[in-house]
Amino acid sequence: IGLLVRGGDAESLPIELPGKTSIENDTSLALTHVSGESNAGSGMDIVVVHGLYGDPFGTWKSAGAEKVFWPNWLTTDIDGVRIWTLQWPSAGHSFSSSGEMALQEVADASLSLLASSGLGDRNLVFVGHSMGGLLIKQMLQTAAIMREESWSLILARTVGTVFMGTPHNGAALAN
């Protein structure tokens, strides 16, 4: 696991699901509030991002018989934390604009979805698995370069990133 930490400051159509609030847009992206206090205010938002061929919930479940979604444990250990999953179109992902969305396009759409959902008004930590980590890096780089105010808030409020199995130097699959 790699960990990068830095300091800083930072409506779509909501769909009610049992115990979850999901917000989607028209690019096969979905942001789901899974657990923790749903009101804004002090505290922290943790966004978990699955990898290539991953699943916004299955990626983060234990391998045991109970299939526990372990990020929920953080809500009992950290006061004021909210857990979110970011679903992105990762199956058969293309690295170019032909066919599936390119990584840059997914990053842009993800930033817009997070901003329209109100993320960026509290501290943020991103947790990425595999290519989800690369998506997080692209999102943060895009937020730093572009002059979009709501994206800048997301960058400013990002206080940490956790990379799990992220191919920072490339992978054979990409060749």
The tokens of 101 are what? 């969305």
How far is 60 from 85, CA to CA, in rounded Å?
A: 10
Least confident of 14-23, 43-52, 80-89, 116-125: 14-23
For residue 156, how many other CB atoms are within 10 A of its CB? Answer: 18
Instruction: Give me the sign of the Cα torsion angle 45, 51, 57, 58.
Output: negative
Condensed to tens digits (0 to 9), the pLDDT of residues 48-75 reads 999 988 989 999 998 877 788 999 999 9
For residue 92, how many other CB atoms are within 10 A of its CB? Answer: 9
How far is 126 from 17, CA to CA, in rounded Å?
A: 23
Report the Cα–Cα distance between both ends of the chain, in Å, rounded.
Answer: 24
Q: Are 163 and 1 in contact (CB under 8 A)?
A: yes
Condensed to tens digits (0 to 9), the pLDDT of residues 76-118 reads 888 899 999 999 988 754 444 455 568 899 999 999 999 999 9
Predicted TM-score (pTM) above 0.95: no
Q: Name the maximum alpha-carbon separation found in the chain.
A: 47
What's the pLDDT score for residue 116? Answer: 94
How far is 105 from 31, CA to CA, in rounded Å?
A: 16
What's the pLDDT score for residue 137? Answer: 97
Angle subtended by helix axes 103-116 and 149-157, to nearest 10: 90
